[in-house]
């Protein structure tokens, strides 16, 4: 394999990275030792994420230190010290407690990046309930599906999102006992069947004692998508905090005085593990921006907030590249010292563009909802091979594997392709798919967790992403299950069959594209296409809905009737069709 290498010297590091000697740390590493970096609940009562993220700092020397600075869309700035965050999250935990919400109950939050989301997440963990984030751009259908599968007991949302997306589906979710509303501009709101969160918070006590928490108690439920079936709820436990904390140090190189900005939305796993938990357990300052992507706003934020570590995503980097490096140079970004990226393949040009525009390359890292934390990374101290995801974290054994009839075979030969596998287990490994033990067990073969990604490992142990082994779609960093989209399309009266693929896109990596065949009596037209696009968008939300629809007389299917998305994709891209021996004969 040919690659360029970006070598680093001690002078370029600025701060000595925690992982400056990868081999040495890796060879001595143990998760038991890593756990000792955390405090644990008093009197040996276990391990709780919120204690590590908030309480231990609030009770110690960092009580007055800035934990979260929130930048509102329209210019408001709110500061939350560790002490204040502790008090507010205590209040939220008391709100839940008073409402009879107990250990293990699922508390969903559907909100943009507003302070209440962060307070609800951490307060839920204090109450030993389960925090389940929902992406605020989802339409009513993905929201309904996730609330139903996760058997939501509580939903925290804004008055606007409730009225637009939840009110009409509420009766379809019988488990949902409480809806707590954040009013417009935090003004008290009276909506039938809901309670005003602001009022409840005022009435609640600012004192709360976290109860005994078993490290294996469920803490987080993150929904993700597969090729088939409904969305899957990946279960994470309190013990995951050991990995959040350690990867914050080793993969993102958090040091005490850092100001960190994770641009991911907490509706997805990165925005929770690294947008909420890891910076707080490490006691640093996290910047949260409510606004959506805008290159100039982002550069101004990096400058004005004196960001030193920045964790973002390839789609955003590609959008910045479009507006050019000259724009970046108008800003004083001297404090910036480490740039990282996750979520999709990061093209080598983007890594190098980071160096040209910001003076530092982007450091790609790899992980997924199921792994709970970063597994493979380009560390601050290491020589980067642009295009590679880097090397496994200390404590993580990664390999390229092939499924065989009897189990799994590890591919030792360098640069050979196979499925990326991780040796089970590590603290943030998912402990199940909620209520779907079979789907969970299928992911593990011979002691390895098989990730569903195809990868290669080179002679020096760097991992290179090849593609997905399944049909899930990555669009602007969001993982979309084709089945969820197809299911909505076939609800339309004109649609007989739908097949959904990811169509390559230079910025978003892939866009959702649907192929549709119509029922008798319906004729393809631009008007019907627009109607279907609007129909899907209203139900699924803009991120999940298809951007393109092509009508076909019939869709290619296997003899057992499964739509062959692989073939649809090959035909769309003009690629060889591969093995079509299972293709149903079309009469």
Cα angle 61, 63, 64 (rounded to 5 degrees) comes to 105
The correct pick among 479, 518, 536, 555 for binding ligand AMP (CB under 6 A) is 479
Residue 63 or 507 having the CB closest to ligand AMP: 507
Binding status of residue 130 toward ligand AMP by CB under 6 A = no
Q: Is 122 near ligand AMP (CB under 6 A)?
A: no
Can residue 82 be called a binding residue for ligand AMP (CB under 6 A)? no
Residue whose CB is less far from ligand AMP, 57 or 232: 232
Q: Distance of CA 462 to CAs 51, 150, 290, 304, 455, Å?
A: 35, 37, 35, 36, 10
Q: Per CB under 6 A, does 369 bind ligand AMP? A: yes
User: Closest by alpha carbon to 156, among 187, 192, 118, 205?
Assistant: 118
Backbone angles phi, psi at 467, to 5 degrees: 165, -175
| Binders of ligand AMP in range 198-237 (CB under 6 A) | 224
Q: Is 347 in the site for ligand AMP (CB under 6 A)?
A: no
Judged by CB under 6 A, the stretch of 50-58, 193-201, 445-453, 489-497 that binds ligand AMP is: 445-453
368 binds ligand AMP (CB under 6 A): yes
Q: Does 343 bind ligand AMP (CB under 6 A)?
A: yes
C-alpha to C-alpha distances, 414 to 149, 384, 455, nearest whole angstrom: 42, 18, 11
Report the nearest approach of ligand AMP to the CB of residue 134 (Å): 14
Question: Minimal distance in Å, beta carbon 542 to ligand AMP?
Answer: 17
**Minimum separation from the CB atom of position 389 to ligand AMP (A):** 5
Span interacting with ligand AMP, options 44-52, 113-121, 337-345, 570-578, rule CB under 6 A: 337-345
For residues 309 and 313, which CB has a smaller minimum distance to ligand AMP in the complex?
A: 313
- Residue with Cβ nearer ligand AMP (123 or 482): 482
Burial 196-211 (b: 16+ CB within 10 A, else e): bbbbbbeebeeebebb
> What is the torsion angle, in degrees rounded to the nearest 10, for the CA atoms of residue 95, residue 98, residue 100 and residue 102?
60
**Closer residue to ligand AMP (CB): 156 or 340:** 340
d(CA 161, CA 24): 50
SS3 55: helix
Q: Does 386 bind ligand AMP (CB under 6 A)?
A: no
- Check residue 26 for interaction with ligand AMP (CB under 6 A): no
Cα distance between residue 342 and residue 22, in whole Å: 20
Piece in contact with ligand AMP (CB under 6 A), picked from 64-72, 93-101, 364-372, 411-419: 364-372
Parallel, antiparallel or unpaired: strands 418-423 and 448-457:
antiparallel
Instruction: Say if residues 309 and 252 touch (Cβ distance below 8 Å).
Output: yes
Name the residue with tokens 């093209």: 347
Least Å distance between CB 343 and ligand AMP?
A: 5
How far apart are CB 500 and ligand AMP at their closest, in Å? 17
Question: What 8-state DSSP symbol labels residue 165?
Answer: I
Instruction: Say whether the peptide bond before residue 425 is cis (omega within 30 degrees of 0).
Output: yes
The answer to whether residue 468 forms part of the interface with ligand AMP (CB under 6 A) is yes
Classify 154 as helix, strand or coil.
strand
Nearer CB in complex with ligand AMP: 168/542: 542
What distance in Å separates the CA atoms of residue 367 and residue 343, rounded to the nearest whole number?
Answer: 8
Q: Which residues, listed in sequence order, are joined to residue 311 by a DSSP beta bridge?
A: 262, 340
* Nearest to ligand AMP of 126, 232 (CB atom): 232
Distance CA 114, CA 441 (A): 37
Q: Which stretch binds ligand AMP (CB under 6 A): 160-168, 194-202, 299-307, 340-348?
A: 340-348
Rounded to an integer, what is the distance from CA 7 to the centroid of its chain?
Answer: 30
Binding to ligand AMP, residues 387-406 (CB under 6 A): 389
- Specify the residue, 289 or 370, whose C-beta has the smaller distance to ligand AMP: 370
In the bound complex, what is the minimum distance in angstroms from residue 225's beta carbon to ligand AMP?
8
Cβ atoms of 326 and 304 within 8 Å: the answer is no
Instruction: Tell me the CA end-to-end span of the chain in Å, nearest whole number.
Output: 47
Nearest residue to 134 (alpha-carbon basis) of 543, 456, 428, 437:
543
CB of 270 to ligand AMP, least distance (A): 6
Site membership for ligand AMP, residue 372 (CB under 6 A): no
Give the residue, chosen from 283, 345, 386, 556, that forms a contact with ligand AMP under the rule CB under 6 A.
Answer: 345
Q: Is 269 in the site for ligand AMP (CB under 6 A)?
A: yes
From residue 419, give the alpha-carbon distance in Å to each of 166, 225, 408.
39, 18, 10
Regarding 439 and contact with ligand AMP (CB under 6 A), the answer is no
- Sort strands 509-518 and 548-551 into parallel, antiparallel or unpaired: parallel
Angle 294-390-24 from CA coordinates, rounded to 5°: 130
Q: Are 314 and 509 in contact (CB under 8 A)?
A: yes
Tell me: does residue 342 bind ligand AMP (CB under 6 A). Answer: yes
Give 200 or 508: the residue with its C-beta nearer to ligand AMP. Answer: 508
Span from 169-177, 358-366, 498-506, 542-550 in contact with ligand AMP (CB under 6 A): 358-366
Q: Residue 490 is encoded by which pair of tokens? A: 């076939």
Q: How far is the CB of 481 from ligand AMP (least distance, A)?
A: 11
Q: Which of 465, 515, 535, 551 binds ligand AMP (CB under 6 A)?
A: 465
Told to check if 289 binds ligand AMP by CB under 6 A, we report no
Site membership for ligand AMP, residue 541 (CB under 6 A): no
| Least distance in angstroms from the C-beta of 474 to ligand AMP | 6
Question: Which residues contact ligand AMP (rule: CB under 6 A)?
Answer: 224, 268-269, 342-346, 364-366, 368-369, 389, 451-453, 465, 468, 474, 479
């Amino acid at each position: 394999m040919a690659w360029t290498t970006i070598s680093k010297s001690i002078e370029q590091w600025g701060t000595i990275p925690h992982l400056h000697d990868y081999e040495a740390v890796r060879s001595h590493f143990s998760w038991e030792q890593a756990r000792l970096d955390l405090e644990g609940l008093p009197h040996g009562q276990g391990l709780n994420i919120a204690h590590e993220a908030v309480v231990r700092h609030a009770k110690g020397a960092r009580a007055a230190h800035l934990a979260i600075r929130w930048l509102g869309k329209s210019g408001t700035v709110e500061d939350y010290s560790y002490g204040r965050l502790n008090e507010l999250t205590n209040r939220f935990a008391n709100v839940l407690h008073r409402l009879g919400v107990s250990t293990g109950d699922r508390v969903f939050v559907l909100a943009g990046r507003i302070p209440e989301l962060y307070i609800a997440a951490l307060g839920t963990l204090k109450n030993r309930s389960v925090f389940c984030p929902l992406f605020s751009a989802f339409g009513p259908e993905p929201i309904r599906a996730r609330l139903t599968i996760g058997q939501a007991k509580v939903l925290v949302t804004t008055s606007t999102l409730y009225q637009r997306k939840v009110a009409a589906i509420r009766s379809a979710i019988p488990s949902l006992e409480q809806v707590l509303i954040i009013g417009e501009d935090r003004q008290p709101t009276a909506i039938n069947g809901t309670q005003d969160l602001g009022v409840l918070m005022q009435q609640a006590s600012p004192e709360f004692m976290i109860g005994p928490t078993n490290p294996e108690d469920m803490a987080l439920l993150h929904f993700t998508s597969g090729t088939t079936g409904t969305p899957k709820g990946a279960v994470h436990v309190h013990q995951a905090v050991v990995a959040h904390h350690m990867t914050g140090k080793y993969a993102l190189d958090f040091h005490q005085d850092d100001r960190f900005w994770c641009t991911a939305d907490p509706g997805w796993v990165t925005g929770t593990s690294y947008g909420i938990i890891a910076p707080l357990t490490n006691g640093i300052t996290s910047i949260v921006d409510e606004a959506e992507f805008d290159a100039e706003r982002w550069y101004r934020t990096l400058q004005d907030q004196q960001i030193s570590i920045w964790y973002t995503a390839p789609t955003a980097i590609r959008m910045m590249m479009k507006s050019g490096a000259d724009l970046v140079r108008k800003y004083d970004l001297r404090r910036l010292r480490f740039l990282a990226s996750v979520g999709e393949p990061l093209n080598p040009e983007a890594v190098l563009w980071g160096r040209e525009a910001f003076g530092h390359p982007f450091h790609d890292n790899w992980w997924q909802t199921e792994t709970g934390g970063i597994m493979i990374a380009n560390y601050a101290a290491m020589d980067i091979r642009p295009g590679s995801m880097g090397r496994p974290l200390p404590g993580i054994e990664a390999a390229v594997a092939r499924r065989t009839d009897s189990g799994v075979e590890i591919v030792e030969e360098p640069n050979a392709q196979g499925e990326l596998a991780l040796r089970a287990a590590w603290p943030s490994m998912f402990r199940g798919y909620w209520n779907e033990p079979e789907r969970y067990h299928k992911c593990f073969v011979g002691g390895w967790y098989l990730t569903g990604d195809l990868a290669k490992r080179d002679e020096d142990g760097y991992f290179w992403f090849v593609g997905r082994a399944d049909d899930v779609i990555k669009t602007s960093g969001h993982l979309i299950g084709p089945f969820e989209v197809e299911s909505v399309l076939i609800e339309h009266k004109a649609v007989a069959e739908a097949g959904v693929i990811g169509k390559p896109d230079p910025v978003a990596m892939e866009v959702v594209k649907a192929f549709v065949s119509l029922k008798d009596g319906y004729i393809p037209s631009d008007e019907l296409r627009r109607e279907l696009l609007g129909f899907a968008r209203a139900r699924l939300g803009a991120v999940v809905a298809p951007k393109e629809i092509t009508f076909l007389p019939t869709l290619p299917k296997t003899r057992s009737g499964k739509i062959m998305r692989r073939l649809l994709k090959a035909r769309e891209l003009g690629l060889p069709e591969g093995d079509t021996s299972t293709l149903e004969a079309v009469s």
